[in-house]
Amino acid sequence: MDIKILHYTNVSIEHRKVHVKGSRTKACVREWAETASCHGLPHMAQANTIGAIIIWSVILALCFLGFIYLFTSTLSQYLRFEKVVTLKLGLESTDFPSVTFCNINPYKKSKIRSVPELDALKHGEKNAEIINY
């Protein structure tokens, strides 16, 4: 924090104190703005010309107004508690197939006969002693 020492002639001590107090406040605000995480404030604080300060101030103000608009519109939409339900039922008719192949016997009889446990299932209790539990 740098404080400029000014030489005053014919100026009261109270006026000098107010000027030093004002420059201290200005330095604190500038330091805060330079280290702020809001992107526009450091650019505005580090700007060297009045034109750059005005441009960054306008950009920052427009972004803030955009935020306020989006926030209030989203909040009001949320607080309306609207319920939007759209049902689309696809009950379109389909053509029935003219030919359908169904495999009634999914297992080959010759393969079942080659495995004694499966062949025993076919005969039921008659061959129950062959099946190993």
Domain boundaries, the chain: 10-79
The pLDDT profile of the chain, 133 residues, written as one tens digit per residue, is 555 555 545 555 554 554 566 688 888 888 988 898 888 889 888 888 999 999 999 999 999 999 999 999 999 999 999 888 888 887 777 777 777 767 777 777 777 778 777 777 766 655 555 555 5
Spatial contact of 108 and 118, defined as CB atoms under 8 Å apart:
no
CA dihedral 71, 75, 77, 78 (to 10 degrees): 140
Assessment of whether the complete model's pTM goes beyond 0.85: no
